[in-house]
Structure 1
Amino acid sequence: MAFLSATPPQVQAQGPLVILNDNGGLLRARRAEVRALQSSGRRVELRGTCYSACTMYLGAPGVCVDPRAELGFHGPSWYSAPLPPQDFDYWSHELAVHYREPLRSWFLREARYTLNSYHRISGAEIIRMGYPQC
């Protein structure tokens, strides 16, 4: 009988998780992955494009950012359709909890209200906000 692990395969692998091109995905699944990374202590390196739910990796342990990376932020939606206000607020804060200040405040004040495009921020700017450089 085979046993399946509840830990996502990205977390089980050895060495840092290197992000080169990640367009995001479902918030609930990414939240579970980031929690597993936090438990495992596996480092994350943001080295390419990281949009939408991918930006939740900023809450991973030992995360670092390449200055040439590009991160894209927008508010929570259901495939670009607005969420009910209570869900929108809940998931906005679920995203923001993965960000350090001043990124967190900026996201909650501005970026979360954009649903059909991205606020793109360079890795160099993210580093200036206090994240370590890879």
Structure 2
Amino acid sequence: MIHVRRPLALLAIPLLALACLTAALPAHAQGGPFIDISDNRGGNVLQMVQRRSELERSGKTVRIRGYCRSACTILTTLPNACLGPRARIGFHAPRIPNTQIIPPYVDQIMGNFYRNGIRDRWFGGWNRSMEMQVISARDYVRLDPQTRICDSIRP
């Protein structure tokens, strides 16, 4: 009886390890050519910087769809990113959660990810605005022509 269980146990160990590894992988690592970022509210800037690095290393096209705001906006300049034709991008001053306090340097961190006219607008006042400054994907591309609209998404 021990001889019967042992081969089954030996087979079960790698299968269990594989199942755990697959479950631990981020959703974007589990298949498909795209990673969709949809209706992202942003959040912690440093965590988003880390997420940005993961997305860049993924080798997949990152499609930003719906409403991308706050810290999510730093994903727009990923070399493997594109904006959905109906995407809206929202900028506001970074704040300590549940306050109106703008922490030092965080706007500089975010601004380092922006380019061209978006960067100009950011440092021209969006980085100090408590109100959300929302622009369409097309307006974003007009301000930063290096950004592209996703050709894999129909308008």
Same fold (TM over 0.5): yes
Q: Secondary structure at the match of 1:106?
A: helix
Structure 2 residue aligned with 1:61, among 67, 79, 82?
Answer: 79
5+ residue gaps, structure 1: none
Runs of at least 4 residues off by over 3 Å: 1-4
Identity in percent: 27
Q: What is the alpha-carbon distance in structure 2 between the residues aligned to residue 9 and residue 98 of structure 1?
A: 23
Question: 2:40, 2:72 within 8 Å by CA — same for their partners in 1?
Answer: yes
User: Equivalent residues in 2 for 1:44-123 (5 A)?
Assistant: 44-81=62-99, 82-83=101-102, 87-88=103-104, 90-115=105-130, 117-123=131-137
Aligned-pair CA distance for 1:10: 4.7
Q: Secondary structure at the match of 2:76?
A: helix
Q: What is the alpha-carbon distance in structure 2 between the residues aligned to residue 112 and residue 33 of structure 1?
A: 21
Q: Which amino acid aligns with 2:120?
A: S
Q: Secondary structure at the match of 1:102?
A: helix
Larger proportion of helix: 2
Could you tell me the TM-score, scaled by structure 2's length? 0.71
Higher CA-based Rg: 2
- Indicate the residue corresponding to 2:11 in structure 1: none
Q: How many residues align?
A: 128
| Pair 1:37–1:20, CA change in 2 (3 A) | closer
Q: What is the alpha-carbon distance in structure 1 between the residues aligned to residue 26 and residue 148 of structure 2?
A: 25
The two structures, once aligned, show a CA RMSD in angstroms of 2.4
Select the structure with the greater relative contact order (CA < 8 A; seq sep ≥ 6): 1
Could you tell me the TM-score, scaled by structure 1's length? 0.81
